[in-house]
Structure 1
């Protein structure tokens, strides 16, 4: 199974973009460190409204909408499920049931609105620096690769399939794929701090998920995409705005 086949499977799994005939998912499962490549593509497409729409609020809103649309809202769905799981009271089993059921409760709505508002507000403040969105999206995908490699599953599913084929060292090439971001016309220190914030948020999610749910599932991996993006954008606001 070639690297090219792995990239095609990645794009078919994490985006709605056309990528030819159906790829062998196993090719991506054995190379899940490639997640950031999808971040480069999604981020590059989604920052275009920031160039062509002069109003920063409208441009940021359309860019956030494109991020959700291009990923098929799959990661956003995980964020909503995480919100329900966090707000559930009682035992670990109750929290897992709230996390994995198909209904969205008040916790999910609150989590979705909060993270989206943070991303939108931060991006609108940074609309004159579109590159921050690319950095945030690549970092969020590196976070997904990290949870995939290190997050022992608490149930069978798509995440357990990926986890069984991943290796702990996948974390290293996943974050190394973020190094080209330092070539962007932004202060290298700001980029380094933003990536550091992404790593910290990923670690908190990993430890928190183990404590609250006993492990990781696909919803939590998807939620990390939305949360880490918001963290990175907010970090840039603090550093640059």
Structure 2
């Protein structure tokens, strides 16, 4: 339970009492999807009571961002700056890791949020969609934490120092309850496959542009996977 509590204190802004040692989660980062169930479950529960698809989509976006403390969204903004920077790998890393917010950050934030919002308002089952997408987003984070070689010291390098290659297995097993949702099982399976594809692309891109992975890349993956899965679920 300490590992789960440490995970939720790291991934959410929920008031969960006295901080637990972060190492409890670091040794079990495959538990990331549990945070997806909590964040996505709360968002799903709230949107169940909203009749308007547009308002429900807006509320769902707001809830997942606020419950996560916008920490992963901040990673997306930093990733956007690094992605749009010109020049050498060192310049891209500098653009991603400095404290300024550039045009790349603004563009990344707007694009991903717009796609997420547009997809949610057309979802046949909005509560189920946001829950599936949030769990998949956390699976992506877990896999990047396990597979992404760090290029600098930081929170990602700390977590990566505890991982074992087999962490990818329990992370995906924690997604099995999603098949109990009132959506086609093929859609859930496709969402999990897409999570692997997006995560692999993020990993390859990070290695090419930055020489490895850091916390910003992992946070960006959370936002990008969530939006990508929502779009996949609403495709005809």
Q: With structure 2 as the length reference, what TM-score do the two structures score?
A: 0.98
Q: How far is 1:127 from its partner?
A: 5.7
Of residues 12, 15, 18 in structure 2, which corresponds to 1:15? Answer: 12
For 1:196 and 1:128, how far apart are their aligned partners in 2? 20
Secondary structure, aligned partner of 1:24: coil
* Match of residue 159 from structure 1: 156
RMSD after superposition: 0.9
After TM superposition, the structure 1 = structure 2 runs for residues 134-149 of structure 1, keeping only pairs within 5 Å, are 134-149=131-146
For 2:122 and 2:110, how far apart are their aligned partners in 1? 18
Structure 1 residue 237 and structure 2 residue 234: aligned?
yes
For 2:146 and 2:69, how far apart are their aligned partners in 1? 23
After TM superposition, the structure 1 = structure 2 runs for residues 28-177 of structure 1, keeping only pairs within 5 Å, are 28-126=25-123, 128-177=125-174
> Is there any run of 5+ residues in structure 1 with no aligned partner, and where?
none
Residues 86-120 of structure 1: CA distance to partner in whole angstroms, max 9, x if unpaired? 10000000000001011111111000000000100
Q: How far is 1:195 from its partner?
A: 1.3
For 2:96 and 2:131, how far apart are their aligned partners in 1? 29
Q: How far is 1:132 from its partner?
A: 1.0
- Contact 1:86/1:95, CA 8 A, preserved across alignment: yes
For 1:190 and 1:139, how far apart are their aligned partners in 2? 12
Q: How far is 1:48 from its partner?
A: 2.8
For 2:147 and 2:194, how far apart are their aligned partners in 1? 18
* Match of residue 223 from structure 2: 226
Q: With structure 1 as the length reference, what TM-score do the two structures score?
A: 0.96
For 1:95 and 1:12, how far apart are their aligned partners in 2? 31
> Is there any run of 5+ residues in structure 2 with no aligned partner, and where?
none
Q: How many residues align?
A: 236
